[in-house]
Amino acid sequence: MNKEEKIKELKKKLAKYESRLAFKMKTYRGVIHESALSELKHSEVMVLQAMIDDLKREIYNLEHP
């Protein structure tokens, strides 16, 4: 896989995860303590944000060697 194909694939993944995060943020109200469901939702949001940050960083590093 060449560099352009890799960037294209990463941008496709980025768009998928950004739309998933946007959907989760519609009902996200932060962490409500003493609520396991709230803490699970918070964890999921944090993981999605980390994945998006990593993808953006990888795309940037490929575009700007």
pLDDT of residue 17: 97
Mean pLDDT of the chain: 93
**Beta carbons of 41 and 24 less than 8 angstroms apart:** yes
Structural domain span for residue 56: 3-63
pLDDT of residue 51: 97
Cα 65 from Cα 56, distance rounded (Å): 14
pLDDT of residue 25: 93
- Span 52-64, pLDDT tens digits: 999 999 999 999 9
Cα three-residue angle 40-46-51, rounded to 5 degrees:
125
User: pTM for the complete prediction?
Assistant: 0.86
Task: Assess whether pLDDT exceeds 90 at residue 35.
Answer: no
The count of structural domains within the chain is 1
**Beta carbons of 23 and 44 less than 8 angstroms apart:** no
